[in-house]
Structure formats: C-alpha cells, structure tokens
C-alpha cells in the first residue's frame, strides 16, 4: 500500500482525491489534512496567507502522524503567488516537519510538463486576472511559454467546487489555443478526476489539472513511477521515472 498525504486549505473539492484513489486502484491511499483558510475567495492576500509557514507547518505536523510516504501542498494558488523562491521554501517547511519527501501543486505542474516534454501551454483558470498573471510569471521562470490565459473569474473556492461538469468541460475546451501543446487547469478546488480523459479526447492533446498533477507528484515522490495504462490522463500513462526535480535536495 502506498500512502501519499495532501495538505489542502479549507474545504471545497477534497473529495476529488477519493475519486483519484478509486481510479488508481486499491493499493493507493490519499489522505487529506485540512490547513487553515480564513477566507476561500480568490484574492492575493488570502492565498499568501494560506501558503504561510504557520499554516503549512500546522498541517504538516498533523500529517506527520499519518504514516505517509510523501506529502504534497495541494493548492496551486498559495504556492505560485509566492514565486519560485517562496514555493521552494514552502516545500522545505513541509519536508522538514514531516520528515518525508514533499512538493506542491505549483511545482508538480512544472515537473509534469518536464516529464511530457511540453513547454507551450494554454491556461484555463478559474481565478481573476491578477492571480492568473502570478501563475504566468511562475511558469515563465521555469522556462514555460504561456501562449494564452483565460480567466473564469469565479469568486471563491466553494463556487469552483460546485461548477457543473459540463460547464468545466466547455470552459477548458473553448480556451485551448492552436499553439499550445497542453491546457493547464490550475485550481485544486475544481473536481477533475473524471473529466481529464473526456477533455483530452475532445481536445486531442494533454490536459493537466491541479489535483491530477498533485496526485501524480505525490506518487512520484513515493517511488511509484511506472506508467499506468488506464490513466487518468496522458500524464499517468507516461509515468514519472524520467523527471528531474526542480526542487532543492532534501
């Protein structure tokens, strides 16, 4: 049994991790620990606070008792708004507290793109423009070219979690770009486990969602690097054995 833990701010789409468990089989467990979240609105100040040392260490202390093999900070926004240096510090806080390999959703996107050898992306974000632009800056620092950005501008994580699946499909598909090699969907408040394969089939290209890359990253850190023939998505079918980490060594 492989156990990978996720530090998840507040409560919105954490049940998506149970859906990934079911898709991946009975030998994977994905426990979630909720980290403090004062306000779930997509605002810069609340995302900065959600990614603070105090919030992450508190959750990591609880996670340390769950006997997991790796931990992922499962919130893209609270990572990339801190920039590359900040995101790396966050991983170090979690790793030092839990004593296990650690990463974050933001870093997982970069690792997933590297594994698939993709560098031109379209972003279909549920955030307002101010937050989406922080993601563009983060990816650009990692050598990723963002060819287009679409903002759904949903006010809060709770609203994102209750989006109709057909609305999500329409939003992602309609915001592809002909020059993009993949579409990034960066909010962990969005349920995506059962939407990845339909989106990829409709687009004819890879789709990377926040919860998907978080789970993939956690399994990679836990040593589960073999490709999975059934997905979910091209990312899981590619496996992760060839990834070179952008994070500082533990």
d(CA 178, CA 101): 37
Whether 135 maps to a domain, the answer reads yes
Same domain for 43 and 132, yes or no, is no
Q: Domain span at residue 188?
A: 116-209
Average model confidence (pLDDT) across the chain? 92
Same domain for 35 and 121, yes or no, is no
What percentage of the chain carries pLDDT values higher than 70?
97
| Per-residue confidence (pLDDT) for residue 241, from 0 to 100 | 86
Same domain for 32 and 103, yes or no, is yes
Whether 11 maps to a domain, the answer reads yes
Distances (CA, A) of 209 to 19, 37, 51, 69, 80: 14, 22, 19, 23, 15
Task: Select the more confidently predicted residue: 71 or 153.
Answer: 71
Number of domains in the chain: 2
Q: Is the pLDDT of residue 91 over 70?
A: yes
Report CA dihedral (158, 58, 132, 250) to the nearest 10 degrees.
-140
What CATH number is attached to the domain comprising 158?
3.40.50.12500
d(CA 249, CA 33): 24
| Per-residue confidence (pLDDT) for residue 153, from 0 to 100 | 65
| Per-residue confidence (pLDDT) for residue 50, from 0 to 100 | 81
d(CA 54, CA 147): 35
Whether 197 maps to a domain, the answer reads yes
Q: Is the pLDDT of residue 142 over 80?
A: yes
């Amino acid at each position: 049994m492989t156990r990978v833990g996720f530090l998840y701010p507040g409560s919105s789409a954490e049940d998506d991790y149970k859906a990934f468990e079911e898709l991946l089989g009975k030998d994977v467990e994905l426990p979630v620990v909720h980290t403090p979240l004062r306000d779930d609105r997509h605002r810069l100040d609340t995302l900065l606070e959600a990614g603070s040392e105090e919030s992450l260490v508190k959750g990591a202390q609880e996670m340390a008792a769950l006997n997991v093999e790796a931990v992922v900070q499962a919130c893209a926004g609270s990572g990339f708004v801190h920039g590359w240096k900040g995101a790396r510090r966050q991983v170090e806080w979690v790793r030092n507290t839990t004593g296990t390999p650690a990463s974050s959703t933001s870093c997982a996107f970069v690792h997933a793109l590297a594994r698939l050898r993709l560098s031109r992306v379209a972003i279909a974000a549920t955030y307002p423009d101010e937050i989406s632009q922080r993601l563009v800056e983060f990816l650009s620092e990692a050598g990723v070219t963002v060819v287009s950005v679409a903002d759904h501008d949903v006010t809060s994580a709770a609203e994102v979690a209750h989006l109709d699946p057909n609305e999500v499909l329409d939003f992602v598909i309609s915001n592809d770009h002909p020059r993009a090699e993949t579409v990034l969907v960066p909010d962990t408040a969005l349920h995506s486990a059962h939407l990845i394969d339909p989106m990829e089939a409709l687009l004819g290209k890879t789709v990377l969602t926040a919860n998907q890359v978080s789970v993939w990253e956690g399994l990679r850190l836990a040593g589960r690097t073999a490709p999975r023939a059934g997905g979910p998505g091209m990312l899981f079918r590619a496996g992760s054995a060839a990834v070179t980490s952008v994070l500082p060594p533990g």
